Structure 1
Amino acid sequence: MPLKAELHCHIEGAASPDLVIRQARKYGADPSPFIRDGAFVWHDFTSFLAAYDFSAGLFRSEEDYALLADHYLTALARDGAIYSEIFISPDHAARAGLSPKAYADALGEGIARAGARTGIEGRMIVVGLRHVGVEAIEKAARFAARCGNPRVTGFGVAGDERTGEMEDYVRAFEIAREAGLGITIHAGELTGWETVAAALDHIRPSRIGHGVRAIENPDLVRRIADQGIVLECCPGSNIALNVFADFASHPFPALKAAGCKVTLNSDDPPYFRTSLAREYAIAADHFGLNEKALAAVTRTAIEAAFVDRRTKAALLARLNTKR
């Protein structure tokens, strides 16, 4: 089994159904409209958001968030992951009635607990949400830049791609870049290749969240390859959300063949009935990647990780030992 690494996972969307049921009992909530037979139930984007918001609303205290991060990273480590980056949102902290710092520190505590038990390394990427607005995104960037948590190492923008324009977020990313944070942004998932091009033009990220719709423009694919931009691909999520009809039509192999740096990630895993282990299995079964090629995907992820040089070297050494 190849060692694995993940760069693209929304932590509130990583809460497993069994953990959500436990939290529902704790707070006297009824999970039955959203969870049946041990799985989340939704049929379109609106019902997906309803299930997501219900579950996210069951994490309200610092201990809840520490438990969530610990639970997820421990499960990742069980499946052979040695590194994890999670997206965290100050807007979720506000809804829970926590300060952004208390929220981030609690998630960091959960990462530390999982690391002490399993050896997995973890970092956090603060994200602003497009549909919340530019002011909130800049506020999230200022928090990421000043929070002082050593596990907060990146900044990004997520949320509804159909809202806002890339140039709206330039100042937020300048704040993050000046603070030395890694830069990633969601683009080219629910919207076409144009959002990926706009991200490269205005934001200058080292990584793109998803980015798979770039396949619609061969010149853009060449640009991504030439600039060494890393794509945080989430095939299981893409199929579940009908971005592509099936794995046979997914562009992961074509992007890889064109020289793009591609990684495998689970996005909001239990909602899409996936996991990081399943994403690696999808790449093997549907995209023809053998164990050596899967190990190379992990290496790409670690080389692109928003982490200090010493930790990165230690992670790469673990990969080399596995060979």
Structure 2
Amino acid sequence: MERVRDVSELPKAHLHLHFTGSMRPATLLELADKYGVRLPEALTDALTGGEPPRLRATDERGWFRFQRLYDAARSCIREPEDIQRLVREAAEEDIRDGSGWLEIQVDPTSYAPRLGGLIAAMEVILDAVDAAGRETGLGMRVLVAANRMKHPLDARTLARLAVRYTDRGVVGFGLSNDERRGMARDFDRAFHIAREGGLLSAPHGGELTGPASVRDCLDDLHAARIGHGVRAAEDPRLLQRLADRRITCEVCPTSNVALGVYEKPEDVPLRTLFEAGVPMALGADDPLLFGARLAAQYELARRHHGFTDRELAELARQSIRGSAAPEDVKTKLLGGVDDWLAADPA
């Protein structure tokens, strides 16, 4: 049997991890108990050792169910110390999985009502990220994400806020939630504000809807990265465009299956994107709900798509190159990838 290297020791960057969705199950259960929150049965079953919920978010009812579970989890984050714990534990989990750089995605409006307003919430989050980075040694930054389900004027407010904190660790601006709602072009002004302020454009697209949503992110929002982007595999010309422009797709295989975008892990078009030359950064998306963190995505690529250690190393390099990490951090991590590949398999 061929020996393979431990993917949890492969240096990598994590570019697609949502704030609430990064929580450890045990932490959510403790916080729910602390605040007397009754969690949905489907969520408690999953958190206590059952299978992650199959949500079928490709239909409206399935997405509503996913959002209900996510909102229930978010309702348990109420105090600054909860934010601090969530971020520190997310950093610890990433380090355990070999991550040397994490860009965690957050919509601060979700936490503003309990934390004293939008600015106060943003500062609590950034303080927590700064503290976790110092305590764990992980390079951490923040990507502020607007919500497609809200008015585009709200996105402009968030873009201005994000630009205000570029010197405190905000590196990008995103657009999340159900991509079947809210045209990308409706948010073009918000993304213009963000780009003019020096932020990387990284909207979600090509997950619940097809290649057109990826094209919209490129044409209307001038995306430098695409959150998900897997449906681009259905359009060879779009794949070529992504490859030629070196647009990194933040691909989250476990999430794609859990949300019903693909039926089985082997259906996720990792090979199609990889062989087309599209840069990828594997991500865990919402491990709280989907049950798998970062290293598991690399294991999935190995087990279900036959990625060799050399190919997994290239995936790690692509994640690092696609990140907003400083050049010296990228150089160090890329050197670590080479060392991992040069080492004999255990």
TM-score normalized by the length of structure 2: 0.88
Deviation of residue 207 (structure 1)? 0.5
Where does residue 29 of structure 1 map in the other structure? 37
Tell me which of 82, 86, 89 is aligned to 1:68: 86
SS at match of 1:295: helix
Give matches, 1:16-95, under 5 Å.
Answer: 16-31=24-39, 33=41, 34-36=43-45, 37-38=48-49, 41=53, 43=55, 44-95=62-113
Counterpart residue identity of residue 334, structure 2: L
Counterpart residue identity of residue 234, structure 1: C
TM-score normalized by the length of structure 1: 0.94
Tell me which of 7, 24, 29 is aligned to 2:15: 7
SS at match of 2:142: strand
Give matches, 1:1-323, under 5 Å.
Answer: 1=6, 2-31=10-39, 33=41, 34-36=43-45, 37-38=48-49, 41=53, 43=55, 44-322=62-340, 323=342
Whole-angstrom CA distance in 2 between matches of 1:38 and 1:97:
32
SS at match of 1:262: coil
Structure 1 residues 42 and 17, CA, compared in 2 at 3 Å: closer, same or farther? farther
Deviations 1:104-135 (A, max 9, x none): 33333333343334321111100000001201
Structure 1 residues 308 and 101, CA, compared in 2 at 3 Å: closer, same or farther? farther
Larger RCO, structure (CA 8 Å, separation 6 or more): 2
Deviation of residue 272 (structure 1)? 1.2
Deviation of residue 87 (structure 1)? 0.5
Counterpart residue identity of residue 250, structure 2: E
Whole-angstrom CA distance in 1 between matches of 2:54 and 2:26:
17
Whole-angstrom CA distance in 2 between matches of 1:155 and 1:138:
11
SS at match of 2:16: coil
Deviations 1:87-117 (A, max 9, x none): 1102212343433333333333333343334
Deviation of residue 302 (structure 1)? 1.2
Structure 1 residues 299 and 25, CA, compared in 2 at 3 Å: closer, same or farther? same
Contact 1:236 1:279 in 2 (8 A): yes
Give the length in aligned residue pairs.
323
Whole-angstrom CA distance in 2 between matches of 1:90 and 1:107:
8
SS at match of 1:155: strand
Q: Bigger CA drift: 221-230 or 303-312? A: 303-312
Whole-angstrom CA distance in 2 between matches of 1:133 and 1:195:
19
Contact 2:13 2:323 in 1 (8 A): no
Deviations 1:48-86 (A, max 9, x none): 221111110111122211111111111111122111111
SS at match of 2:174: strand
Q: State the superposition RMSD in angstroms.
A: 1.8
Whole-angstrom CA distance in 1 between matches of 2:166 and 2:11:
30
Whole-angstrom CA distance in 1 between matches of 2:120 and 2:204:
25
Structure 1 residues 315 and 150, CA, compared in 2 at 3 Å: closer, same or farther? farther
Deviations 1:9-28 (A, max 9, x none): 11111112211011112212
Deviation of residue 32 (structure 1)? 5.9
